[in-house]
Copies of this chain bind each other. A is one copy, B any other.
Amino acid sequence: MSETAVAELPRDFDELRASILAQRESLPKRIAQIAAYALDNPDEIAFGTAASIAISAGVQPSTLIRFAQHLGFDGFTSLQSVFRERLRERNSSYEERLNTLRVGDGTAAGNHRILDGFLTASRKSLDVMSRTLDEATLDRAIDVLARAETIYILARRRSYPVASYLAYALGKLEVRNQMIESAAGLDPEMISFATPRDAVIVISFSPYAPATIEDARGLAERDVPLIAITDSAFSPLAGFAKLWFEVAEADFGGFRTLASTMALSMALAVGVGEARRAGRGKGRRGGVA
């Protein structure tokens, strides 16, 4: 019968590819035709239907199924899932890996596993940001901030560390800034100083600190430009911010990293610093390249 050569079925795309290349010589003509097509147009296989693929590869649907069975799959569907998995992996290769990294699963080398978990989560966050962050939004945000007289920084709880680094960096760059601290209960006064000629960077992630949201709303209502860093389009901040960044931080052991939020904040700070310098060079503040 047909259960001759093919011992084990390929589990991922690389194995499948290797398997195809290995038997290339011995494949029947039409099967080989599909094999070539599949390696050349993996996306088609991933998304198409058996019929549509058959047409564009110039074969019959039944041949497609024979091809899948030749490789050890039980049908076209399971072959296709390998092609789909490949696309998914491309997009979020760390997602799966992270999920398998459970904090306390092995007693051996537990602490090192924890550290690895955070390092991996951080890397993942950075990767996601470098793929998804919108350049135009970044440019516009820096433009807005560069024109501001004072940059207010609003963040609490988990986001507070970012705020404090931002304040530190802006200070170093001699950009006037003001953190809105909750400690002494001075928030209302501080907020009342802000005018539309200033700007606010507000950072908040789910679960959003109610005080942050309230303060941000108050500022927005008084037309102070708001730049938000938050975690989803459904964040309340996205509603009333002039510009907002969506940052997806990976988490591990219940704590999200701050790696990409930090990187973005630093980029904002340095970008503002550069814009201000360029603006001064041209004799006016707030100029944009």
CB <8 Å contact, B118 and A263? yes
CB <8 Å contact, B160 and A264? no
Chain B: minimal CB distance from A177 (Å): 15
CB <8 Å contact, B115 and A267? yes
Give how many copies assemble into the complex: 2
Q: CB-CB < 8 A to A109: which residues of B?
A: 135, 139
SS of A interface (majority) = helix
Contact with B along A81-115 (1 / 0, CB 8 A): 00010011011101001000001100101111011
Q: Answer whether A274 and B43 are a contact pair too, CB < 8 Å, given A109-B135, A266-B255.
A: no
Nearest B residue to A160, CB-CB: B164
A253 at the binding interface (Cβ < 8 Å):
yes
CB <8 Å contact, B168 and A157? yes
A158 at the binding interface (Cβ < 8 Å):
yes
Interface residues of A (CB under 8 A from B): 17, 20-21, 24, 36, 39-40, 43, 47, 84, 87-88, 90-92, 94, 97, 103-104, 107, 109-112, 114-119, 122-123, 126, 129-131, 133, 135, 138-139, 142, 157-158, 160-162, 164-165, 168-169, 172, 183, 232-234, 238, 252-255, 257-260, 262-264, 266-267, 269-271, 274, 289
CB <8 Å contact, B114 and A122? no
CB <8 Å contact, A126 and B133? no
Q: Answer whether A267 and B233 are a contact pair too, CB < 8 Å, given A129-B119, A131-B94, A161-B168.
A: no
Most chain B Cβ neighbours within 10 Å, of A39, A91, A135, A264: A91
